[in-house]
Amino acid sequence: MEPTNALIGVVGKTNVGKSTFFSAATEIDVPIENRPFVTIEPNVGIGYARKKCVHVELGLPSCNAANSVCRNGERFIPVKLMDVAGLVPGAHQGRGLGNKFLDDLRRADVFLLIVDASGSTSPEGVVSSPGTYDPIEEIKFVITEIDEWIYQSVEKDWDKFLKQYSIGAIKDPLESFSQRLSGFGINKEQVEMALNNLKISYNELFKISKEDLKNLLKEIRRLTKPMVIVANKIDIPESEKNLEKIRNYFKEYPVVPASAAAELFLRKLGKKNAIDYIPGDYDFKIKAGEIDSKTKGILELIKNNIMDKFKGTGVVQSINEALFNSLKLIPVYPVEDINKFTDKKNRVLPDVILIPKGSTAKDLAGKIHTDLANTFLYAINAKNKQRIGANYLLNENDVIKIVAASGKG
Ligand SMILES: Nc1nc2c(ncn2[C@@H]2O[C@H](COP(=O)(O)OP(=O)(O)OP(=O)(O)O)[C@@H](O)[C@H]2O)c(=O)[nH]1
Ligand SMILES: [Mg+2]
């Protein structure tokens, strides 16, 4: 069972730590170097969001997590991440590696915009001393490049659209335009909302100027592709004051301070069994006798200057922000037995599903299996044993049994 179908796109300027973030989050080794344009082909992997496992709330000693992982009462819920090549200003005009590679992120549900908060890389990704460059300018140009990318993709067909419209071949402008955007995972309701916000009537859609088209697509992007700003390299002292500047300037976006390099370091030591570290924690434990003094020194810095100060390294926190706050997904646990909280194989709370807030019991059935939604009879809230209907609005950490005529579940 897919716990979430969400795709997180990792984007940003070149040489800011996108692949480091990706590697820390997914524990997949990918090329990382301190120079621009290291990543060319996209990296795809599974990272994890983290939520307190419902077995703790239910007073159970443990669970049998299957589609996810449970460690120390924390449930790790997989989500797909894609790390792509880096941007430079003017990428849409072909500078650097251009912007074609962003096409791989068309279906992304949310972007993590990784920024070098220390200002130690030029707009072209060339290394300099911290404080030389302004992370605000960096974020601005990356957002501009994302907007230009979407605009270019639609603009290239625009004249064709206008022509078809003028000869009466397009009956429903809203429908045709929405169809054009479906490849971006954007639907008609979202396009309608953007048109309403900008007070453009549906019939005028193919009469607007290119400038207005650009603004419309910006609005659509704003509504459909939430963005989390990841203020990376927070381990570098110059980053801290920039963090406040970024927060003040980009009030509409959440900003998470992060040190991808620190998280990668901790995960690698965790894998080698040198430390006990649960990703997302604010602390770790050194296993006796496993660590040289240099490593110990780095760990001390990570603990004091990053984890204590910023509440973790920011990697798991960024993924959580994207899934739980930006996409407003909530974890729900389907079960078969409402007393033992088990599935058919007697496993305790094996699966967790992330579903948009506002989803119903029937929506959950549909996420598990289409048959289950089609033959849905009723559901039971396993926490209070109450029978609930198709329209029951799911709450975070609900434990639900679906009863359907098809008997699948
Ligand atoms: N100080 C510090 N350095 C970092 C951090 N994250 C990444 N770096 C360093 O930044 C450099 C670039 O890292 P990458 O992950 O390759 O950057 P990228 O954004 O994927 O770069 P391209 O794929 O070339 O566009 C490397 O030297 C990393 O070690 C961090 O949190 N702190
Ligand atoms: Mg890279």
Residues 348-377 as b/e (b if ≥16 CB within 10 A, e otherwise) read bbbbbbbbeeebbbbbbbbbbbebbbebbe
Task: Tell me what percent of the chain is helix, strand and coil, each rounded to the nearest 5.
Answer: 40, 20, 40
Residue ranges with CB less than 5 Å from ion ligand 2:
18-19, 38-39
Cα-to-centroid distance, 16 and ligand 1 (Å): 5
Closest C-alpha to ligand 1, atom 27 = 34
Residue type present at position 221 = R
Task: Transcribe 285-306 into DSSP letters.
Answer: EEPTT---HHHHHHHHHIIIII
Question: Cα separation of 233 and 221, whole Å?
Answer: 27
Closest CA to 67 of 335, 322, 263: 335
Lining ligand 1 with CB less than 6 A are: 14-20, 32-34, 36-39, 85-86, 232-233, 235-236, 259-261
Q: Relative to the CA of 118, which ligand 1 atom is closest?
A: 1
Give, for ligand 1, the residue of 26, 28, 30, 32 to mutate: max count of ligand atoms closer than 8 Å to Cβ: 32
Runs of H (alpha helix) within 302-360:
308-310, 315-320
Pocket residue to mutate for ligand 1, from 10, 11, 15, 313, most atoms within 8 A of Cβ: 15
> What domains lie within the chain, and their CATH numbers?
7-130+226-325 (3.40.50.300), 150-221 (1.10.8.470), 331-404 (3.10.20.30)
What is the DSSP code string of 139-152?
HHHHHHHHHHHHHH
pLDDT, position 77: 98
Cα–Cα separations (whole angstroms), residue 220 to 97, 156, 207, 208, 325: 26, 18, 18, 15, 19
Average pLDDT, 10 consecutive residues per value, the chain (409 residues): 85 98 98 97 98 98 98 98 98 98 97 98 98 98 98 95 94 95 97 98 93 98 98 98 98 98 98 96 90 95 98 98 98 98 98 98 96 96 98 98 79
